Amino acid sequence: MDEQKLSELYSRISKHSQYQLPALDIVGLVEGNMEIIHQHYERERLDFLLRKINVEGKRVLDIGGNTGYFSFELLNSGARSVAFYEGNEDHAEFVREAAELLNLSGKIKVHSQYFSFTDNDTHSEYDIVLLLNVLHHVGDDYGEKFRTISSAKSEIIRELIFASEKGEYVFFQLGFNWHGDRNMPLFANGTKSEMISFVQDGIKDYCDILHVGIAERDESSGTITYNEPTCWNIKRDDSIGEFLNRPLFILRNKFFA
């Protein structure tokens, strides 16, 4: 596998292609060959996690990891190992080959499949679970075809609780729209407060919410930083788009041993 092939894998078109920035070490390998079309504030979200959780020596489960930005960057920040699950075969191959080029194959175990939210064989094997912008695709990209938003919301909570049983911390983010379709909003008013209450009420018997990150834009520089909620940033801000209105959650399993 050479760098040109890695770029070609990244560029293959699919529903979620070029969704993440490549990890910095990968950009260094293929600089000039990789066309980066989208970014979803990966560095800013990672910064929030690293400010709140010491990842040194931690075992990571990355569910729906796309092209592996968070997996590679957490390893670069001192994580011990990553179990990477991705149902898109091209993305999984990209991560597998990038790991080989970076001599990280022994630290990343790539599973080219959708994560099973019913298989209990992996109970509490990890320290940190990444579950970023996956669950609002239930019944679309993966899982049972639910007929109603109410049923989908119940399944989102069930799967979030299931994932929380796999480790001590869950780094979680959820979209406002089921299937990513603005005509199927999960919350009546599309507010951060509604989403936070939904998560808090759904997981209260299983997890504590340790931190919530809210995106704030510096008007002078245009930079984005995730900070704890305030009376100002908790308000919906349509000027920054739907994605940046999605809160980041760091949850802790009440029963982790």
- Is the predicted pLDDT of residue 28 greater than 50, yes or no? yes
Distance CA 80, CA 176 (A): 33
- Containing structural domain, residue 51: 41-64+114-253
Q: What is the pLDDT of residues 202-239, one digit of tens each?
A: 999 999 999 999 999 998 998 999 999 999 999 999 99
Q: What is the pLDDT of residues 62-115, one digit of tens each?
A: 999 998 999 999 999 999 999 999 999 988 998 998 899 889 999 999 999 999
Distance CA 147, CA 28 (A): 45
Q: How confident is the model at residue 15 (pLDDT cuts 50, 70, 90)?
A: very low
In a domain, 216, yes or no: yes
For residue 85 the two structure tokens come to 């699950």
What's the pLDDT score for residue 24? 78
Nearest to 56 by CA among 38, 79, 75: 79
Give the domain CATH number at 136: 3.40.50
What's the pLDDT score for residue 40? 87
φ/ψ (deg, to 5) at 115:
-65, 135
In a domain, 14, yes or no: no
Q: How confident is the model at residue 30 (pLDDT cuts 50, 70, 90)?
A: low
In a domain, 75, yes or no: no
In a domain, 180, yes or no: yes
In a domain, 209, yes or no: yes
Spatial contact of 167 and 126, defined as CB atoms under 8 Å apart: yes
* Residue-by-residue DSSP string for 29-88: HHTTT--------HHHHHHHHHHH---TT-EEEEET-TT-HHHHHHHHTT--EEEEE-S-
What's the pLDDT score for residue 2? 64
pTM of the model: 0.89
* Number of independent structural domains in the chain: 1
| DSSP secondary structure letter of residue 180 | G
Is beta strand 128-132 parallel, antiparallel or unpaired with respect to 207-217?
unpaired
In a domain, 134, yes or no: yes
What's the pLDDT score for residue 140? 73
Nearest to 155 by CA among 114, 198, 209: 198
- Is the predicted pLDDT of residue 44 greater than 80, yes or no? yes
Nearest to 132 by CA among 201, 51, 193, 44: 44
In a domain, 93, yes or no: no
Region 30-45 average pLDDT: 73
In a domain, 31, yes or no: no
Q: What is the 3-state secondary structure (H, E, C) of 138-176?
A: ECCCECCCCCCHHHHHHHHHHHHHHHHCCCCEEEEECCC
Nearest to 255 by CA among 144, 159, 167: 167
